[in-house]
Structure 1
Amino acid sequence: MKEFPIEDALCGKENGVWVKYSTQKYIQIVNNISYGLLQLGIKKGDCVATITANRPEWNFLDMAIMQIGAIHVAIYPTISESDYDYILHHANVKLIFVSGWELLRKITNIISNIPELNDRVYTFRNLLGYRHLNELIEVGRSNPSPQYLQEIKDSITPDDVVSLVYTSGTTGNPKGVMLTHENFLTNIRGVLPIIPTEKNNRILSYLPLCHVYERMLNYAFQSLGLPIYYTESIAKIQQDMADLRPDIFTTVPRLLEKVYDKILAQGNKLTGIKKKIFFWANDVALNYEFNANKAYQRRLKIARKLVLNKWHEALGGNFKVIVSGGAAIQPRISRIFWAMGVPILEGYGTTESAPVIAVSDFFKGGLEFGAAGHVLPGTRVRIADDGEILTKGKHVMKGYYNAPDLTAEAIDEDGWLHTGDLGKLTPGGRLKITGRKKEMFKTAFGKYVVPTIIENKFAEDPLIDNILVVGENKKFAAALIVPNFTDLRSWCHHHEIEYTTNEEMIHHPDVVKKFKKIVDQYNKFFGDTEKVKSFSLVGYEWSIQTGELTPTLKLKRNVLIKKYEEQIEKLFA
């Protein structure tokens, strides 16, 4: 960071106003926090936890914890109280930082039962009875120990654990993934040559920094001296894009789908020739190819001039690249963004691999719709007989914390990490993800079904917001469907369908008939075993807050199956 002195190294919003920290201020705060942590008796190997949304303070603490050899336990602010309880006990946390009162309320009872954390809770707000982060910074400022800090830094080895990252734990207690300095550095070195960056490119960040994908890229961008801006919430992203005009954005496919849904919703409001031109341009975009013929290039040029450039402009108009990870992206979404002049790079990885295993790139032959891209240099991949993706290299975790049995299940005797994901290598050598091994189910007839493939296809319809495909030990596949209520309300208005609540709307015969038509339309893409032969509509949106989605907007499959147990059984009655 000393090589890239900038005034907006880290930026977050407070009361709607951007607060910027220069590189110099960043380093100063980090060192003072490190001195303060040492004064509190935090030693190399101790676990220090943070529970907060993205903000500069997260980076201050992360670097301060890291450079004294302690272990950063970065905990999602959206998990259950039982998970907080398990993690804080399991990691033997010595000190905890919480952003504000809303999160403190979730852990107050837990902390009261952990004597080691009495009076060892710091916040970023002035809350009665709790210490403020600024107090720790002041302790460090008053008691600097640069020589001792340097001695600790010199003693840190690449194999030392830098972070415990607890997985979501949808099937039992969360597992603490031990990631080392070597793990992160291997990944950073692998992705840096792939992501196109220039000096002073702005980064817009919203994915949780607890998520290894966002965290690793955050480190990579910092190493290049690029300014990072943290958006306040998902709801504010589009406004921040327009205001900041960022160059680079990291995201998950679900958000890009929602952006595209909003674009289509605007198109549906148009009439006459404007509407025809809008959807003509949309059709051109959906057929985007990297090596298209001259006739297509001419159509694309016109489509961009008339429509697609306006879509890009609504997103700030300045994107050099969007990096998508966390789940497979629908090829149609990639095509749309490439057509509007926004390159999409798709990556694949796991928490246990720190995280990237493969990523698409701008080099010759590096891009293929529907594939994650080539395996990173220094990373080995092979496909097991059952289709599971295995990987080996310096990017693979040290193991699961205090769980040698689970570690042995994940990493075999030859050092291969069993990812739990299903995939294949394309003729061009790119890794293509086909599903999740644990999510695959067997029907009553012994046929295997990969639900994510079906779900991703059905989710292409603008009226479908989310879908869960089920059918374990049943005679056929069935689905719970969450409508896109914004578009469905417009559809109901257009068809003069009256209702007072979502529940009333989704049970209206014409609405059910419409979704039956949609299901029949998408069933044509699948064989008999994969066809959705029964479905039920759900009356509210699934979200992180209501517990159905992970922090990266993926389905919590086991949670949903348990929550809708009765409704699912009726699908097979």
Structure 2
Amino acid sequence: MTETQALIENRPPSVASIFLERVELTPDAVAYRYPVPPASGEGPDDWAGLTWRQSADRVFAIAAGLIDLGVRPEERISLAASTRIEWILADFGVLCCGGATTTIYPSTNADETAFILSDSESRVLIAEDAAQLAKARAHRAELPDLAHVVVLEEADAVPAAGDPEGWVLSLAELERRGAKRLEADPDAVMDRIKALRSDQLATLIYTSGTTGRPKGVLLPHDAWSYMARAILASGLVLPTDVQYLWLPLAHVFGKVLTVSHLSTGHITAVDGRVDKIIENLPVVRPTYMAAVPRIFEKVYNGVAAKAREAGGAKLKIFQWAAEVAREYAKVSQDNYHRTGSRTAPFGLSAKHKVADALVYSKIRAAFGGQLRACVSGASALAPDIGYFFSGAGIHILEGYGLTETSAASFVNPGEAYRTGTVGKPLPGTEVRIADDGEVLLRGPAIMTGYHGLPEKTTEVLESDGWFHTGDIGELSADGFLRITDRKKDLIKTSGGKYVAPAEVEGQFKVVCPFVSNVLVHGADRNYCTALIALDEPTLMTWAEEQGMAGKSYAEVVADPRTVELIEGYVKQVNDGLQRWQTIKKFRLLPRDLDVEHGELTPSLKLKRPVVERLYKDLIEEMYSGTRES
């Protein structure tokens, strides 16, 4: 048995066990850093830290407090809050008392929040603030199982008329109750931890479905214990790393980062405020960060837009440097896989060195200057954007997984990463490609099923453990996986040609610095069309230059000059596509797509059926009148 196999096969039985193991190994090392607003209310945040021992003290107090509230093993405790240190402490508190965390995005509306609370039979809701409390209160009559709401913001933990006695309490109050419980029964939490089984439910995550109610994915302790050990064995994260964690912890991608942290023991800086990312990066100076492709697209488009605004020599330098970056990345990656060394011909290396001084070094500085690697997941990253960042010294390791597979099934292997692929399977995960191209997975990270939906479970999970991902992919001879599209999203035109919309959309995002979201449509049609939403800040800057200052976003989008601008980029993309893939017509949307209108998932994935339904008239307009082939 290899060292890696031994590490995984001898994994602890629960997340709580791994947490205790980490506390015992490095009790005085800094575990977390988190922002503290200045007392004056003005100026930059201060950053405080928690050691592993201090974290354990709070986790045990929360766990004991939940026990004091009557929480029994495997009972669900819902967490509705943004990414913050208290989310992580509360989650581990739930797991250490034997409960199961049910995650709810803070952006979830009151009706769907009530559905999740009811469907999961949650006994306790840990709510961030008054807004989250109000959602539960509005539906309290429909939630007979909900015995308590614990509010993170102490000032918002205010009972209202009609609330049962003790129904609302603050996190601070819960921790005080826990401390008293531990004084009376010092072994209360340890007894729960010792009783945990590897097959015991740890997390219930509801998928943000494109239609209908979300499905609850059942993930046991063993799935997370495996993930923690497999990621450690992969070498993806190092004990010396500083991780910047801003991803939503209600999402499985964010969740796996908190669990893998336990095995590695590095420092994690936690702040989920997306509008603070640019401000935080030079302060945190991370060596490691996970993100979704939209973040990298925004950075790339922002840099490209600034170069375009500057015009003249600066624009030409950026365009030249971008091409050098892509060429250098492709050559050096190919050479690494052939020789084990990232090398490039002398002439290309010389150009790269000049471009680095003029352009790339500034991009790295914006990320804090210490970034060793980024991990990108949740959806596909356009390869040309990946090559650009690779050549600029921002190494993006693409990965792949689903909620049903505990997030990380594949990841690119460090220096040997290959842009455009999602890497190799984590040790202990099996993969095979079905006859129709669908990716099938099997291993310890696979869910036990969908909560209360046995028929839905059998649709995707075979009796021998193989899980149908619904994604189409290809495996290289040396084991790298490339995802080509969602099985259900593949477009078959009326002419019988298959089109992968994500591939076309990705290419458009590379060439057009104004795009925010794009949806390619064409199933059962005789040509492809596109709905395009533009990035407002970038567009409005351009609009001012065109004499459209004072006009609204919708007015600028409707202006013929804007349509002509985007048409140029559509033609540019079409030049590199097969005839049946080309975008024959497009429409610009009057606003960007967003989570609030239900067009994007909280992890910023496009909800195709929702967008196509909302903009059905625009789609039909593109197919009326003329025929194209």
Q: Which residue of 1 aligns with 2:367?
A: 315
Q: Which residue of 2 aligns with 1:139?
A: 177
1:520-540 C-alpha deviation (Å, 9 max, x unpaired): 221223223322212110122
Amino acid at match of 1:347: G
Give the share of equivalent positions with the same residue, in percent. 32
In structure 1, distance between residues paired with 2:509 and 2:312 = 28
Amino acid at match of 1:293: P
In structure 1, distance between residues paired with 2:499 and 2:112 = 31
Residue of 574, 577, 582 corresponding to 1:526: 577
Q: Is the 8 A contact 1:167 1:175 kept in 2?
A: yes
Deviation at 1:197, TM superposition (A): 4.4
Provide closer, same or farther for how the CA distance between residues 384 and 256 of structure 1 changes in structure 2, counting only shifts above 3 A: same
In structure 1, distance between residues paired with 2:554 and 2:458 = 47
Provide closer, same or farther for how the CA distance between residues 308 and 123 of structure 1 changes in structure 2, counting only shifts above 3 A: closer
Q: Is the 8 A contact 1:112 1:118 kept in 2?
A: no
Worse-superposed segment, 147-156 or 321-330 = 147-156
Q: Which residue of 1 aligns with 2:4?
A: none
Provide closer, same or farther for how the CA distance between residues 357 and 199 of structure 1 changes in structure 2, counting only shifts above 3 A: closer
Q: Which residue of 2 aligns with 1:101?
A: 130
Amino acid at match of 2:26: F
Worse-superposed segment, 129-138 or 149-158 = 149-158
1:406-436 C-alpha deviation (Å, 9 max, x unpaired): 1111101332100011111123321000001
In structure 1, distance between residues paired with 2:204 and 2:236 = 30
Worse-superposed segment, 532-541 or 284-293 = 284-293
Q: Which residue of 2 aligns with 1:258?
A: 298
Residue of 598, 602, 607 corresponding to 1:551: 602
Q: Which residue of 2 aligns with 1:20?
A: 49
Deviation at 1:214, TM superposition (A): 1.9
**Do residues 458 (structure 1) and 496 (structure 2) align?**
no
Worse-superposed segment, 63-72 or 489-498 = 489-498
Q: Is the 8 A contact 1:176 1:401 kept in 2?
A: yes
Amino acid at match of 1:299: K
Q: Output the TM-score relative to the length of structure 2.
A: 0.87
Provide closer, same or farther for how the CA distance between residues 84 and 330 of structure 1 changes in structure 2, counting only shifts above 3 A: same
Q: Is the 8 A contact 1:47 1:73 kept in 2?
A: yes
Amino acid at match of 2:604: L
Q: Which residue of 1 aligns with 2:119?
A: 90
**Do residues 536 (structure 1) and 564 (structure 2) align?**
no
In structure 2, distance between residues paired with 1:478 and 1:274 = 34
Worse-superposed segment, 199-208 or 399-408 = 199-208
**Do residues 230 (structure 1) and 289 (structure 2) align?**
no
Q: What residue ranges of structure 2 are gaps of 5+ in the alignment?
A: 1-21, 38-44, 160-167, 336-343, 625-629
Amino acid at match of 1:264: A
Amino acid at match of 1:473: D
**Do residues 434 (structure 1) and 489 (structure 2) align?**
no
Provide closer, same or farther for how the CA distance between residues 362 and 14 of structure 1 changes in structure 2, counting only shifts above 3 A: closer
Q: Which residue of 1 aligns with 2:537?
A: 486
Residue of 224, 232, 236 corresponding to 1:184: 224
Worse-superposed segment, 322-331 or 121-130 = 121-130
Q: Is the 8 A contact 1:6 1:225 kept in 2?
A: no
In structure 2, distance between residues paired with 1:101 and 1:450 = 44
1:103-133 C-alpha deviation (Å, 9 max, x unpaired): 2333331234213325444343322213111
Residue of 153, 158, 168 corresponding to 1:124: 153
Residue of 525, 549, 554 corresponding to 1:474: 525
Q: Is the 8 A contact 2:133 2:151 kept in 1?
A: no
SS in structure 2 at match of 1:87: helix
Deviation at 1:157, TM superposition (A): 1.5
Provide closer, same or farther for how the CA distance between residues 195 and 333 of structure 1 changes in structure 2, counting only shifts above 3 A: farther
Q: Is the 8 A contact 2:248 2:272 kept in 1?
A: no
Q: Which residue of 2 aligns with 1:405?
A: 455
In structure 1, distance between residues paired with 2:277 and 2:232 = 25
Residue of 464, 473, 478 corresponding to 1:423: 473
SS in structure 1 at match of 2:317: helix
Aligned length: 571
Q: Is the 8 A contact 2:533 2:588 kept in 1?
A: yes
**Do residues 516 (structure 1) and 567 (structure 2) align?**
yes
In structure 2, distance between residues paired with 1:197 and 1:348 = 16
In structure 2, distance between residues paired with 1:246 and 1:136 = 33
Provide closer, same or farther for how the CA distance between residues 14 and 542 of structure 1 changes in structure 2, counting only shifts above 3 A: farther
Q: Is the 8 A contact 1:467 1:482 kept in 2?
A: yes
Residue of 435, 439, 444 corresponding to 1:389: 439
Provide closer, same or farther for how the CA distance between residues 521 and 135 of structure 1 changes in structure 2, counting only shifts above 3 A: same
Provide closer, same or farther for how the CA distance between residues 194 and 263 of structure 1 changes in structure 2, counting only shifts above 3 A: farther
Deviation at 1:350, TM superposition (A): 0.9
Amino acid at match of 1:139: R
Q: Is the 8 A contact 1:348 1:372 kept in 2?
A: yes
Q: Which residue of 2 aligns with 1:61?
A: 90
RMSD, aligned α-carbons = 2.0
SS in structure 2 at match of 1:356: coil
Residue of 74, 99, 102 corresponding to 1:73: 102
In structure 1, distance between residues paired with 2:127 and 2:259 = 22
Amino acid at match of 2:209: G
Residue of 19, 31, 47 corresponding to 1:9: 31
Worse-superposed segment, 234-243 or 507-516 = 507-516
Q: Is the 8 A contact 1:166 1:176 kept in 2?
A: yes
Deviation at 1:548, TM superposition (A): 1.9
Worse-superposed segment, 518-527 or 135-144 = 518-527
Deviation at 1:232, TM superposition (A): 4.2
